[in-house]
Amino acid sequence: MPVLPGAEPYRHEGGEVGVLLCHGFTGSPQSLRPWADHHAARGLTVSLPLLPGHGTHWEDLQLTGWQDWYAEVDRELRVLRERCARVFVAGLSMGGALALRLAAKHGEGVDGVVVVNPANKVHGLSAYALPVARHLVRTTKGIASDIAKAGAAETGYDRVPLHAAHSLRSYFRLLDGELPQVTQPLLLLHSAQDHVVPPADSARILSRVSSLDVTEVVLEQSYHVATLDHDADRIFEESLAFIGRLAPSVGKEGTASVG
């Protein structure tokens, strides 16, 4: 299937400070492209991959699982580490969950983590029904475009394939046990109103990580896809300031200044 317009992966060769951005479940790079552009314009090297099964048709997602999604961001992180002196990982929703596992697994290979409305659990009775329901029903209604800003829209699927949702549930359970391995500085931004991921997920993550340098920001004007919503500029500036504080310069020619 061809990639949907705007859902293409994005890479920008900048300085020696790199950022890996991870999009969410059933979404695409389009939801994070303004964030990527913002950081690229300020001299950072940016990688925004398209996760397997995403950005085309929901039937492609049905054939993938968390191992595929994580392998893609893991590969991109390793490429960034070869290119950059300092590397940060960031993500929205499931992308935040992927970023957290990268931090847990790569240790000093990740200099900091930024997550926006990170997901930690599949909630409700549907979560318990998934192991059986996925064999009876192929899809359920989509979760894309939970945005308060009028006229803004997310390029994502209008259906959620249940095989993929079941895999996502398994991933969340795995990650929850690995969160104490996250020790890097953490910036967590979450919306006051979110119709996809409840605030309990952010609270759980904050209670489980071992990071000592933690900043929590509440986004008052946005729903789930806050990177396309009223608080988008705040997310971009807060994350840039976070990176600039931790990596103002690495003292080499061609290095971006992000302070």
Cite the active site residues: 93, 194, 224
Q: What are phi and psi of 180, to 5 degrees?
A: -60, -15
- Give the distance, in angstroms, between the CA of residue 54 and the centroid of all CA atoms in the same chain: 14
Q: Distance between CA atoms of 98 and 70, rounded to whole angstroms? A: 6
| Residues with Cβ within 8 Å of residue 244, at least 6 apart in sequence | 257, 258, 259
229-232-234-235 Cα dihedral, nearest 10 degrees? 120
